[in-house]
Structure 1
């Protein structure tokens, strides 16, 4: 069984904003059906709570919070970036651009600099912050499965990290997108693809073996 030694492991909480996770959030309608079906919110809580209990570090991997003028002078903004600007997604200083109440930053947590596109690694300090504290294994939870989670996980693998995806601690805009992320793309780069219950068992067992 895979081990998650607390000193080597970090849970990456990707884009856990109110706009995604809360009723009334701008992107909540995108994921609410799948999130309800797989009990995503409760599973997110369980992974984060268990990680804290066993001493595994929590890293917040936040998407850029929209501000007026974003992308105006960009030569090649992506369709998603333009859509985010139109919707003012995760707008800075607003409720939607604030971390959900259950995933607020706590003492000892690491908050990476905000990513502008999908991956949490390029043009941020995430890789530096992981290596600074000796982290070799990353567990990814959050949204969306086929965009920011997948892109961060893929680059993490390329950078040499052991990568774990969690089937029911993420969601996507469609079942097809979720299937592609976890069952088609995921096995090409992820070292483990687990359910929340499997991950919790592995984290607790690893902590007991310290």
Structure 2
């Protein structure tokens, strides 16, 4: 049976909703364009439905590159070095700004920026979730097999109920998307739904809450 999404304990994690990832002209949009169009990426529908249900929205952003980043790191990853070369999500640029469809609204939480893949280590995400009594996290965003997976997996390790939407993410290749959706994801996600199923679950939860009021 599908879980319900009581707005008092549920949060929506929007991971790396930057122009560089989601906008035509973004530096990383060519990475995900084909897969995003194939899976019919429905993050806008999910965010809108969550807001209508008064589910708190958390923006989980990657570090915005600045000159000098990573140059004195002893063990930077290939992804981090690549981001510095582009540079992706550069601070004070259009690419490092949240997509126009996903602005920060009053009541939203903007988590401190993460430097690697997961939104949890070295940020205030866990604190901000527990501060508001959130036990369930719905994770959407990019990339499927890197930041989304790392954030969701650690969320499970920390004791959160994790939900993923099959068309709430995309990747650079079919193989990468398959690895997360069909191999890795089921090992840490409590709910693995299509966007339509997720939206239905959220709306049903609202109906139940209203009936109980």
Map Cα deviations across residues 121-164 of structure 1 (whole Å, 9 max, x no partner). Answer: 00000000000000000000010000000000000000000001
Q: What does 1:97-116 correspond to in 2, within 5 Å? A: 97-116=96-115
Q: What does 1:18-167 correspond to in 2, within 5 Å? A: 18-40=19-41, 43-167=42-166
My pick for the range that moved more, 142-151 or 31-40, is 31-40
- Separation in 1 of the partners of 2:27 and 2:161? 33
- Separation in 2 of the partners of 1:86 and 1:166? 32
How many angstroms does 1:38 deviate by? 1.5
Map Cα deviations across residues 26-62 of structure 1 (whole Å, 9 max, x no partner). Answer: 000000001111121xx11100000000111100000
Q: Which residue of 2 aligns with 1:197?
A: 196
Q: What does 1:179-190 correspond to in 2, within 5 Å? A: 179-190=178-189
- SS in structure 1 at match of 2:101: helix
- Separation in 2 of the partners of 1:76 and 1:7? 41
- Separation in 1 of the partners of 2:112 and 2:92? 16
- SS in structure 2 at match of 1:72: coil
- Separation in 2 of the partners of 1:170 and 1:164? 12
- Separation in 1 of the partners of 2:166 and 2:174? 12
The number of residues matched between the two structures is 208
* TM superposition score normalised by structure 1: 0.98
How many angstroms does 1:167 deviate by? 0.5
- Separation in 2 of the partners of 1:172 and 1:193? 17
Unaligned 5+ segments in structure 1 are none
- Separation in 1 of the partners of 2:144 and 2:165? 10
Unaligned 5+ segments in structure 2 are none
- SS in structure 2 at match of 1:101: coil
- Separation in 2 of the partners of 1:39 and 1:22? 15
* TM superposition score normalised by structure 2: 0.97
